[in-house]
Chains A and B, each alone.
Chain A
């Protein structure tokens, strides 16, 4: 650790930590980040750039870092790419790898892109890959994909657990620097519930990088420690370190990600890796500080060029010298303070080259640098940087009073630190729809009007100077506490610090005028966007900053332009002779820093991704090898294979079994709604198309429900259990929306009706027993119900017991056979299933699944709403107009279906189709045409809605909606398929037992 200072900083010099970077072993100290530990070992080179594969080094010291993106490997499944080295806390055994290089960081073949850089300007992708079009998929896109991208995502499932938690507080403070700590202290004093979060491992923000500052008589470090102790002792305060506020959502809903285990050497057994906090705060204080901007000059991306504030942090907080001989480029007074502190840490300051004109600079930073004996060169600019994998020198220029640049001296150095001024971190304020205003004095945007109950404090709103920042935070904290209903006065603080100015001028440093353009000067390091790219976008006519951003990709990398955004605006403003304030800003979007997929998914993965609904026969079906399908959240048995049967064979056998003897089917998934009240019948009269007044008690009827536009919405059998009580069934998928629609009309349209509805879908288990032997099976199980045709005719309902279980027994059929649907309280469903199966053995009863159910109902032309109808079919179109109560003055949909267009000739109508070849089964969804072999685009007149092979009929059957279909009976039309048009005959939808003789027995 050759670059480690002898004393000071917040690292634990007694605890050595071993880690590897690109396979080489290094040593750091407890408290180091990967960045500080690498710098302590003299390592600057940490990655290759995105487009040109240029060698890149560490630039920053926190979440703003654009270059040092690292993959951390814990094991095969735990490879986390694109982490910033400046935020990775090292632990013993940490394995870190650089990205975007091959075969090695020092020698990277991708760097050949640099040779072609004249061919890779802004808009390169948009311009080059236009032609030939067919090359895009085969050549361009795969090659771009292989060459582009940053780190690699792990290929194994994520083994870690992620927690999610909601929290409520009165005051949320984001950022635990001086302003945030003062805000939290003030607000907590009032008794308000406070949450304070900070993205760093340690709270304290900029105070952790101070060397000489003190607050109220304590050193900055001691004041931080005392303040955190006070806050920690307050049970109404929650402190969340390593926690990034990544998104500001409406109504003061702030998303935080807490990183819990990534910094630990060994993973605790039960801790989640990360926790998502969804905080709902009455009031918010944003104390997010600011980010330093780099200066922009040719070669400014070489390893060894850092931000001045980062270099100062490495010296003061981590005890690391970023270089032995440092050239300081100043566009802001903060450079002076950094130079003084770097000098104190043992670095030689080769020069402070100040970009600002002679005599324009004064103030405490300047004075401190002077009195430290450092050489300051005013009106300076940087023209070139020497060195490839590490800076070896800088060529300075001098800007004359006429603005012309002349070549100045060459400075030998191993490091360049630059400060272009500080940008307030207004991301969260802006995400909350707060307005921004340009501060000419500061040279940056600051928060203006807020939209949410929020306020910014400290440097995040441009307030600089330690005492001012502390007191601004205290005022904001007190203001937030008062606004949330607590009496509170702001604390007062008094601090001594150097208090350098943080203002700067966004843009690029002036360059030599001349025919030879200088080397590339980088604005956006992560996306490799240069000053030339921005100028090119200007020349090509892009004016809006949103367009320039997308054309050049500036600010579109994973750092979202934290260090580059304002500089890009400055360059665009200069090039277009506009004021920076007039160029406008691109939108700040969440997340502030990248967030893992895992923390968003939380526990919703695997079995817990979605709830599963199981039918009463589920376990029975599993034990017999039933094959399931998902219907909404339901697991329904699709078929019950016997032996080695495939689906086709099983379904054929099941269909034959039902019609030849008897079958049983779990129909429990049907939606069920109980409609009760003295106006229950009137409600159903108004709601369904049918007439219900004349339905007797213990009778049932097939009902059709339309929307007010006249189109079929749902269907199902409705039973009248008593004068004022109906048992309504709905389709499996329609239960929730029918219930919602009923509530809507009851609550908002027909408030005169005395009627209540209750969902009873989960209260009833239903087994359908269907087939000529159905009555014989049930007869063995019921004692108190007369099953005879006279006592219990088709659509009749009886109540009594079956296998000792109370039941509502309905004689209904969705197969066209003699059939019953046995309803029992849900908890008896499995028992009922077993009892019927046992009783059915002597009749060779066939359990059948949804597939056979579909075939059987299609043989009879029974529709499935949502399959044979699609929201554009009236009852007449669907062939069920017979259900409409003709004498009713009104019902939902009556007026709608009375519109001329819904009664016009040529509407699509549901018909049956028979293929000429009985073995051909049509594709559901296939288009219907009137004439074969049409040229494209041919005229489509409908589509196939249901299509099956019917074992009972020994041939295929299908239903389709066809324009004017019922007028085309016995005509031949065609189903268009890629292999050729298939001739079909239009027939009735009822393929089996058209007289219904099998039903009424």
Chain B
């Protein structure tokens, strides 16, 4: 059972949260004018890295908010969690 730091509530146990898949998959601003390729990217293609991964969580049985996290999929340790609209750099400075 992980401990997850909700950016609004602080550290809480994993059962309070729902995982939401890869983060920063933005819905196209004008879906009508997206190509099939862009739509494919938006709907279906997801990373599954071994290592640092930006992912979404929802504090579903808490404040209800969606937020993002950087988690190392090797170790299950979180680098950080952050609010919607933010995008902290990865360790080492990469965006």
Residues of A within 8 A of B (CB): 249-251, 253, 278, 280, 433, 451, 708-709, 740, 743-745, 747-749, 751, 889-890, 894-896, 898-900
Cα separation A894 to B27 with both chains bound (whole Å): 12
Cα separation A895 to B36 with both chains bound (whole Å): 9
CB B17 to nearest CB in A, in angstroms, measures: 12
Whether the Cβ atoms of B58 and A251 lie closer than 8 Å is: no
Whether the Cβ atoms of B42 and A280 lie closer than 8 Å is: no
Cα separation A896 to B1 with both chains bound (whole Å): 37
Whether the Cβ atoms of A751 and B84 lie closer than 8 Å is: yes
Whether the Cβ atoms of B27 and A749 lie closer than 8 Å is: yes
Name the A residues within 8 Å of B31 (CB-CB). 708, 890, 894-895
Select which of A278, A709, A748 is within 8 A of B43 by beta carbon: A709
Q: Which 3 A-B pairs have the closest CB atoms?
A: A895-B31, A251-B3, A250-B76
A745: nearest residue on chain B (CB-CB)? B27
Name the B residues within 8 Å of A253 (CB-CB). 1, 3
Apart from A253-B3, A744-B66, A899-B39, 16 more pairs, CB < 8 Å: A250-B76, A280-B13, A451-B75, A740-B58, A743-B58, A743-B64, A744-B20, A747-B65, A747-B66, A751-B84, A751-B85, A890-B30, A894-B31, A895-B28, A895-B34, A899-B36
Name the A residues within 8 Å of B90 (CB-CB). none
In this complex, how many residues of chain B approach chain A with their Cβ under 8 Å: the count is: 27
Q: Which of B54-84 contact A (CB under 8 A)?
A: 58, 60, 64-66, 75-77, 84
CB A453 to nearest CB in B, in angstroms, measures: 10
Cα separation A253 to B1 with both chains bound (whole Å): 7
Cα separation A890 to B32 with both chains bound (whole Å): 7
Whether the Cβ atoms of A250 and B43 lie closer than 8 Å is: no
- Provide 26 A-B residue pairs closer than 8 Å at the C-beta atoms, listed in order of the A residue: A250-B76, A251-B1, A251-B2, A251-B3, A278-B1, A433-B75, A708-B27, A708-B31, A740-B60, A744-B58, A744-B66, A745-B27, A747-B84, A748-B66, A748-B84, A751-B84, A751-B85, A890-B30, A890-B31, A890-B32, A894-B31, A895-B31, A895-B39, A899-B36, A899-B39, A900-B36
Name the B residues within 8 Å of A278 (CB-CB). 1
Cα separation A900 to B84 with both chains bound (whole Å): 34
Cα separation A708 to B20 with both chains bound (whole Å): 16
Cα separation A164 to B75 with both chains bound (whole Å): 27
Q: What are the interface flags for B1-38 relative to A under an 8 Å C-beta threshold, 1 for contact and 0 otherwise?
A: 11100000000010000101000001110111010100
CB A991 to nearest CB in B, in angstroms, measures: 36
Name the A residues within 8 Å of B1 (CB-CB). 249-251, 253, 278
Whether the Cβ atoms of B3 and A895 lie closer than 8 Å is: no
Name the B residues within 8 Å of A743 (CB-CB). 58, 64, 66
Whether the Cβ atoms of A708 and B66 lie closer than 8 Å is: no
CB A686 to nearest CB in B, in angstroms, measures: 10
Main secondary structure of the interface of A (DSSP, over half): mixed
Name the A residues within 8 Å of B84 (CB-CB). 747-748, 751
Name the A residues within 8 Å of B13 (CB-CB). 280
Name the B residues within 8 Å of A896 (CB-CB). 39, 43
B40: nearest residue on chain A (CB-CB)? A899
CB A299 to nearest CB in B, in angstroms, measures: 47
Cα separation A749 to B56 with both chains bound (whole Å): 13
Cα separation A749 to B31 with both chains bound (whole Å): 13
Name the B residues within 8 Å of A889 (CB-CB). 32
Cα separation A900 to B28 with both chains bound (whole Å): 19
Most B-side CB within 10 Å, residue of A249, A251, A709, A751: A251
Cα separation A751 to B30 with both chains bound (whole Å): 15
Name the A residues within 8 Å of B36 (CB-CB). 899-900
Name the B residues within 8 Å of A433 (CB-CB). 75
Beyond A251-B2, A749-B27, whether A708 also contacts B42 by CB under 8 A is: yes
B85: nearest residue on chain A (CB-CB)? A751
CB A434 to nearest CB in B, in angstroms, measures: 11
Name the B residues within 8 Å of A708 (CB-CB). 27, 31, 42-43
Cα separation A280 to B15 with both chains bound (whole Å): 14
Cα separation A889 to B32 with both chains bound (whole Å): 7
Whether the Cβ atoms of B42 and A251 lie closer than 8 Å is: no
Cα separation A899 to B2 with both chains bound (whole Å): 40
Name the B residues within 8 Å of A280 (CB-CB). 3, 13
Cα separation A749 to B13 with both chains bound (whole Å): 27
Whether the Cβ atoms of B60 and A250 lie closer than 8 Å is: no
A253: nearest residue on chain B (CB-CB)? B1
Select which of B18, B39, B64, B76 is within 8 A of A251 by beta carbon: B76
Name the B residues within 8 Å of A894 (CB-CB). 31-32
CB A560 to nearest CB in B, in angstroms, measures: 23
Name the A residues within 8 Å of B28 (CB-CB). 895
CB B22 to nearest CB in A, in angstroms, measures: 13
Name the A residues within 8 Å of B75 (CB-CB). 433, 451
CB A237 to nearest CB in B, in angstroms, measures: 23
B60: nearest residue on chain A (CB-CB)? A740
Cα separation A743 to B18 with both chains bound (whole Å): 13
Name the B residues within 8 Å of A748 (CB-CB). 66, 84
Name the B residues within 8 Å of A744 (CB-CB). 20, 58, 66
Cα separation A749 to B29 with both chains bound (whole Å): 9
CB A705 to nearest CB in B, in angstroms, measures: 15
Cα separation A313 to B23 with both chains bound (whole Å): 58
Name the B residues within 8 Å of A898 (CB-CB). 32
Cα separation A249 to B65 with both chains bound (whole Å): 26
A709: nearest residue on chain B (CB-CB)? B43
Name the A residues within 8 Å of B65 (CB-CB). 747
CB A706 to nearest CB in B, in angstroms, measures: 12
Name the A residues within 8 Å of B43 (CB-CB). 708-709, 896
Name the A residues within 8 Å of B18 (CB-CB). 740
Select which of A451, A740, A895, A900 is within 8 A of B32 by beta carbon: A895
CB B11 to nearest CB in A, in angstroms, measures: 9
CB B7 to nearest CB in A, in angstroms, measures: 12
CB B83 to nearest CB in A, in angstroms, measures: 10
Cα separation A278 to B3 with both chains bound (whole Å): 13
CB A687 to nearest CB in B, in angstroms, measures: 12
CB B57 to nearest CB in A, in angstroms, measures: 12
CB A426 to nearest CB in B, in angstroms, measures: 19
Most A-side CB within 10 Å, residue of B30, B31, B65: B31
Cα separation A898 to B1 with both chains bound (whole Å): 42
